[in-house]
Amino acid sequence: MSNESAATERKNQRSQIEFEKQMLPHLDALYRSALSMTKNPGDAEDLVQETFVRAFQFFAQFQGGTNARAWLFRIMTNLYINSYRKKTREPDRVSYDEMEDFYLYNRLSDAQTSGIAASPEDVILTQVQAEAIRDAIDKLPDEYRETVVLADINEFSYQEIAEMLDIPIGTVRSRLSRGRRLVQKSLWAYTEANTR
């Protein structure tokens, strides 16, 4: 092996090690979110794998010290929007008018008052299973689901989400507000069915 190719190899190895160290810890969070976004384990795996391939290709452009998690999510969200999200958006059939603030709290409080349920917080802590939560998120229309996953599961800021999804901050805010209400509506339906 020439000196030059040995040097290139060492350089490659260094960047591989660096990449693994900085990016691999985010694999689980990426997969979880990919699964919520695509709603399909096979697609989620492909999306995450593609994200890592793309990230590795562009690793030289990644500025050390900046937020690796946000960088990876940005790449993944971009791939998702361009290749995985349904091209024809489902029409917005949900009516939000009847959905007041504290939808779930109000209903659980009423249930508590009539003696058919524990306190609202106890219900959440003891009766609402992970499956019900995943199901509530899965049922959200695409754009609400993406925003809820990025904001509530991954705790990205409005600004970061606006950049990832290429939408104004006001849109992030309104999608999150509606998405959260819809999640509460599903959780109420689940609780109601399970407290009988």
**Taking the complex as a whole, how short is the minimal distance between the CB of residue 133 and other proteins, in angstroms?**
5
Q: Reduced to 3 states, what is the DSSP secondary structure of residue 66?
A: coil
| Spatial distance between the Cα atoms of 114 and 10, rounded to a whole number of angstroms | 70
CB 80: neighbour CB atoms within 10 A?
A: 24
Residue type, 144: Y
From residue 99 to residue 138, what is the string marking binding to other proteins with x (rule CB under 8 A)? --xx-xx--------------xx--xx--xxx--xx--x-
The C-alpha atoms of residue 6 and residue 125 are separated, in whole angstroms, by: 57
| Site membership for other proteins, residue 45 (CB under 8 A) | yes
Nearer to other proteins by Cβ, of 77 and 191: the residue is 191
Residues in CB range of 82: below 8 A, 6 or more apart = none
| Interface with other proteins, residue 1, by CB under 8 A | no
* Listed ranges 72-80, 85-93, 152-160, 188-196: which one lies at the site for other proteins (CB under 8 A): 152-160
Q: At what angle do helices 68-79 and 3-23 cross, to 10 degrees?
A: 90
Size of the site for other proteins (CB under 8 A): 46
Q: Give the residue with the Cβ less far from other proteins, 41 or 168.
A: 41
151 sits near other proteins (criterion: CB under 8 A): yes
C-beta closer to other proteins: residue 89 or 116:
116
Q: What is the DSSP string of 115-154?
A: TSS--HHHIIIII--HHHHHHHHHTS-HHHHHHHIIIIIT
92/74 Cα distance (integer angstroms): 26
- Contact flag: residue 36 with other proteins (CB under 8 A): yes
Footprint of other proteins (CB under 8 A): 12, 16, 19-20, 24, 27-28, 30-32, 35-36, 41, 45, 48-49, 52-53, 56, 101-102, 104-105, 120-121, 124-125, 128-130, 133-134, 137, 151-153, 155, 157-158, 173, 176-177, 180, 183-184, 187
